[in-house]
Amino acid sequence: MKIIPKNKIVYAFEVAMYEVERAAPGEIIKFETNDCFGHQIDSEAKLCSEMDFSRINPTTGPVYIEGTERGDILKVKILDIALPDKGIIVTVPGEGVLGDTVKKATTRIIKIEDGFCTFKNVRMPVRPMVGVIGVAPLKGKYPTGTPWKHGGNMDTTDIAPGSTLYFPVNQKGAFLAMGDCHAVMGDGEVCVSGCEINSEVTVKVDVIKNRKIEWPLVETKDYTMVITSGNSPADALKEATRQAVDLLRKGLRLSWDDAYMLASLVMDLKISQIVDPAKTVRAAIPKYILSTQGIIEACKEVR
């Protein structure tokens, strides 16, 4: 198993990335991740307003995945997300859905023990997930705090142990990196923070040759979800719907109109996060309607 230490970090996904390690398809990799604050907050006396924001969202990697090239799909199975004994949540004036109501920055330490997070005597089951995970983009440069077609800061609660992600390979080697884990977070991440933690994320990587997707997919036990982002929630929702309808059309060999109607019957739109520079949603297609394998098979790349 390859181990990527937490001091091997990037702050942007870009076309020209330089690997810190190489891994082969089928290999297991452990990413040691930092919390989204870059370990600048260690008590409730430390406030987000006092941080060096150039150190926000450090992302471990990237790893060059051998055998991947543009027009392939990188498959990443989330095997485990280790939990520390505490996490951090913050508020910041001007940030989050109700940022105009936040008068001062606040930090709270959340205890993590025996499978539960405790916040102000409220206990909730842990739901560990990866906030930032992605690959090199097709073009441009994206800070690790911003989501787009390459992945990035998608903050999607379904990116959890047992789930499998599928990324478009935009550059030879893919260049996989990840960070910004949470012990628990609600869909939307409304106050701009979940239970932020450092972690060790163990994944298994593979490559699917000659298949092309435009946006990342996440596969859970019952659904395949296309994850899209936009400048507004409305933009992201429209793109997620367009993508899901097209996948149903190709996978089931339907007319566009029939696929659109089927989407209205069975597809669920879900909010991932609405607090980052681009907003992220997901369109969930039930696997009893169309399997993940059926979707992937319908995405054959013509070269």
Domain match, 203 and 234 both:
no
User: pLDDT tens across 143-166, in order?
Assistant: 999 999 999 999 999 999 999 999
Only one residue has tokens 């989204």, namely 36
| CATH number where 284 lies | 3.10.28.20
User: pLDDT tens across 257-270, in order?
Assistant: 999 999 999 999 99
- pLDDT reading at 50 higher than 90: no
Percent of the chain with pLDDT over 90: 94
Question: What is residue 301's predicted lDDT score, i.e. its pLDDT?
Answer: 53
| CATH number where 84 lies | 2.60.120.580
Tokens for 19, please give them. 């690997």
Residue 201 binned pLDDT confidence (cut-offs 50, 70, 90): very high
- pLDDT reading at 22 higher than 50: yes
Instruction: Tell me the average pLDDT across 277-296.
Output: 97
Question: What is residue 303's predicted lDDT score, i.e. its pLDDT?
Answer: 38
**Burial (0-12, 13-18, 19+ Cβ within 10 Å), 303:** exposed
Question: What is residue 234's predicted lDDT score, i.e. its pLDDT?
Answer: 97
Domain of 272? 217-297
- pLDDT reading at 302 higher than 60: no
Tokens for 174, please give them. 């893919």
Among 80, 81, 183, 42, residue whose Cα is nearest residue 124: 183
- Picking from 190, 208, 226, the residue at the C-terminal end of a domain is 208
Domain match, 197 and 226 both:
no
Instruction: Tell me the average pLDDT across 43-51.
Output: 88
**Burial (0-12, 13-18, 19+ Cβ within 10 Å), 62:** buried
Residue 49 binned pLDDT confidence (cut-offs 50, 70, 90): confident
Domain match, 147 and 22 both:
yes
Domain match, 7 and 140 both:
yes
Instruction: Tell me the average pLDDT across 42-54.
Output: 87
